Amino acid sequence: MTTDWNTDPEPSDPNANSDGTPDSSAFLSALRLSDSFLPVGGYTASYGLEQYINEDRIEDGDDLRALIAAYLRRVVGPCETVALANAHAASAAGELEALLAVDERLHAVTMPREFRESSTKAGAKLCELLAETDTDDVDAESSDGSDADGTDLETAFADAVAADETPGHYPVAFGVVAQARGLSRREACLAHAHSFVTGLLGAAQRLGRFGHTEIQSVLADLESVIAAVCERHVDDEPAAMVSFAPLAEIMGMRHERAGRRLFMS
């Protein structure tokens, strides 16, 4: 059976208040999921950025801005955003088999071992964290039937990850939990891309090359790229999922054998 997920214009917000204003819970969930304070291990990943700096390939804010923009256009957009958006759609439709297929596809197109490990560890941790902290909220949503499909699938996906039946990549887990908490596909994609960018900028700062002001300047400049990338790829089919960033992948592979490492990837 083929489900036409990606042509849905998301006409109305099912979580809106009676007067039509958005429910603040979805917005607060987006802030929570995109915050570096979320303890899923993102602070341990630089996705090859550390190796770029170790090899003196990044000298100033312009270099950093260009590198992260390339990540967004070559990896986050056509790969992780596609996975997240389709995971969100599968969650909304209650299609576990389709969700697992998205996870397997993302695993197949993520080449560097460190990148795969960082993503799957963060995905498993997100599932574990929300199972421990959001039980009451999920039970309340399920009891009145308002979000039964999303919460049921979230539990099923978490169980599959725990049983090693699926890799459990972070963008896929993110899409599932975002849908269950009322975020639209675009909101979920924007939150994830923003989180990815702030994670890399935080890594660059901790590596001692950039100060707070320069980091904020780069972040402000990248907002338009985040928005454009998410808009371009939010409606892509799973088969379109692809990553093409050869130098970034090489940096990630070199990082595996680097003698000096602050980050896991």
Q: What percentage of the chain exceeds 90 in pLDDT?
A: 51
Residue 261 has pLDDT above 60, yes or no: no
Name the band, by pLDDT with cuts 50, 70 and 90, for residue 108. Answer: very high
The pLDDT of residue 20 is 47
Please name which of 9, 2, 196, 183 lies closest in space to residue 101, comparing C-alpha atoms: 2
Question: Tokens 């371009």 belong to which residue?
Answer: 232
The whole-angstrom separation of Cα 42 and Cα 50 is 14
Question: Tokens 């312009």 belong to which residue?
Answer: 62
Looking at residues 123-149, what average pLDDT do you find?
64
The whole-angstrom separation of Cα 166 and Cα 233 is 24
Amino acid at 154: E
The pLDDT of residue 8 is 46
The long-range contacts involving 14-20, CB below 8 angstroms and separated by at least 24 positions, are: 14/146, 14/182, 15/182
Looking at residues 125-140, what average pLDDT do you find?
72
Amino acid at 53: I
Rounded to two decimals, the pTM is 0.82
Express each pLDDT in 47-98 by its tens digit. 778 888 888 888 899 999 999 999 999 999 999 999 999 999 999 999 999 9
Looking at residues 244-257, what average pLDDT do you find?
74
Which run of H or of E encompasses 94? none
Looking at residues 166-174, what average pLDDT do you find?
96
The pLDDT of residue 138 is 47
Please name which of 97, 108, 53, 69 lies closest in space to residue 241, comparing C-alpha atoms: 108
Structure tokens at 26: 């979805």
Residues 6+ apart with CB under 8 A from 5: 86, 89, 90, 92, 93
The whole-chain average pLDDT of the chain stands at 82
Every domain of the chain and the residues it spans: 24-34+46-255
Other C-beta atoms lying within 10 Å of the C-beta of residue 34 = 23
The pLDDT of residue 250 is 79
Please name which of 95, 57, 78 lies closest in space to residue 209, comparing C-alpha atoms: 57
Q: In this structure, which topology does domain 24-34+46-255 adopt according to CATH?
A: Urease accessory protein UreF (1.10.4190)
Which run of H or of E encompasses 144? none
| Contact between 22 and 46 (Cβ < 8 Å) | no
The pLDDT of residue 160 is 95
**The residue count for the chain:** 265
| Contact between 68 and 218 (Cβ < 8 Å) | yes
Express each pLDDT in 7-63 by its tens digit. 444 444 545 554 444 568 888 988 888 887 777 766 676 777 888 888 888 889 999
Burial of 155 (0-12, 13-18, 19+ CB in 10 A): middle
Helices (H) and strands (E) counted in the chain, each on its own, are 12, 0
Side-chain-side CA neighbours of 98 within 13 Å: the count stands at 23
